[in-house]
Amino acid sequence: MKVGVLGAGSWGAALANHLEKNGHEVTLWGHREERMNLIRETRMIGESLPGLRLPESIEVTSDFSEIVREKELLVFAVPSTAIRETARKIALLQLTEEELRQKTIVSVAKGIEESTLLRLSQVIAEELPLCQVAVLCGPSHAEEVAQSLPTALVAGASEQETAERIQNVFMNEYLRVYTSPDLIGMELGGALKNVIALAAGMADGLGYGDNTKAALITRGVAEITRLAVQLGGAPETLSGLTGIGDLIVTCESRHSRNRKAGMLIGQGRTVEEALAEVGMVVEGVNCARAAKLLAEKEGVPMPIITAVNEVLFSGKSAADAVRELMIRDKRSEHSRLRWKTD
């Protein structure tokens, strides 16, 4: 298949490399011409993936029109905040209806659009209603996919045929791909786990232990599940790869930008200082405010998400935020469970 990967960051490059190994004709696009020229000459991505050398068979370009017109499958690996802009640029190319219907777009970004509170697949579909839209997500760091370490992901789409097509394109002996029709659960799990990972990082920065981390992960997935189910998602999705799986890897891994940013904040850095030190996009910060707004709109309590917002945007210390989470009103763990009565 002819595949265009839009976004030449670590995740885009790792996926382009993976797809080339699967025998596809791959082009990697980035918007900065100078950087793409350097990648073309050196075949190296840079500090974000120092061990990856792109094969010569992967074309590297900054020509947006060319990559869109020539490819059947477009992988959106740009930051979540650039998803609408990227989709709109495709719409402005004025392709024919037939050309648009023949294109499949796979979002591998994770987030919620703050201005509309839409999931990213909804943003793409709004701009490109004639294209087939899918999502690929799960517990995966670019560093490990680039090394061909065993990984499992989920391909989601409204149509089974579309999800299975993505499954076939990406799956091989070291990257296993499942399918799912639950875009709501998948995308909310993928987006909101980044916010919970910020909280987990803050706990690490404060010197808290495994007990704290386990509590944040477990109660984090409970919060995400409540919101997903309220919006029509399936609870099973949040107990799977794109829920608890993605949450575990992002809260625990040394590769996690969100955990690292949170840890720096927990150690006393300002948000700005933490982001500068990470040096790459931290999607949890982009998503936190949108997650809180969406929860408030739906009337779903999300205390960890709220606490992270207070630290990021209201000047509350991470230690105070944890303390306030601990002294909230007493409650049962699972509100649907009932005591047996005689």
Q: How far apart are CA 234 and CA 295, in angstroms?
A: 17
Q: How far apart are CA 267 and CA 326, in angstroms?
A: 20
193 catalytic residue (yes or no): yes
**Tokens coding 173:** 């002996």
Q: Residue 60: which of 107, 23, 105, 8 has the closest Cα? A: 8
Task: Please name the residue that has the structure tokens 């404060």.
Answer: 206
Q: Residue 65: which of 31, 34, 16 has the closest Cα? A: 31
pLDDT of residue 342: 67
pLDDT of residue 221: 95
Q: How far apart are CA 320 and CA 307, in angstroms?
A: 9
Q: Is-above-0.85 flag for pTM?
A: yes
Task: Please name the residue that has the structure tokens 């996926």.
Answer: 15
- Can you give the residue ranges of every domain in the chain? 2-181, 184-326
φ and ψ at 242, to 5 degrees? -90, 5
Catalytic residue among 71, 103, 110, 193: 193
306 secondary structure, DSSP code: H
Q: What is the CATH number of domain 2-181?
A: 3.40.50.720
Q: Is residue 165 exposed (0-12), middle (13-18) or buried (19+ Cβ within 10 Å)?
A: buried
In CATH terms, is domain 184-326 a member of 1.10.540.10? no
Report the Cα–Cα distance between both ends of the chain, in Å, rounded: 64
Q: According to the 3-state scheme, what is the secondary structure of 224-278?
A: HHHHHHHCCCCHHHHCCHHHHHHHHHHHHCCCCHHHHHHHHHHCCCCHHHHHHHH
Q: Is residue 139 exposed (0-12), middle (13-18) or buried (19+ Cβ within 10 Å)?
A: buried
Assess contact for 34 and 58: CB atoms under 8 A.
no
Instruction: Provide the H-helix boundaries in 26-127.
Output: 33-42, 64-70, 83-91, 97-101, 120-127
Please list the residues that pair with 59 across neighbouring strands: 27
pLDDT of residue 48: 79
| Per-residue pLDDT in tens (0 to 9) along the chain, 342 residues | 999 999 999 999 999 999 999 999 999 999 999 999 999 999 999 887 888 999 999 999 999 999 999 999 999 999 999 999 999 999 999 899 999 999 999 999 999 999 999 999 999 999 999 999 999 999 999 999 999 999 999 999 999 999 999 999 999 999 999 999 999 999 999 999 999 999 999 999 999 999 999 999 999 999 999 999 999 999 999 999 999 999 999 999 888 999 999 999 999 999 999 999 998 889 999 899 999 999 999 999 999 999 999 999 999 999 999 889 888 888 888 888 888 886
Assess contact for 263 and 275: CB atoms under 8 A.
no
pLDDT of residue 241: 97
Q: Which helix (H) or strand (E) holds 151?
A: strand 151-157
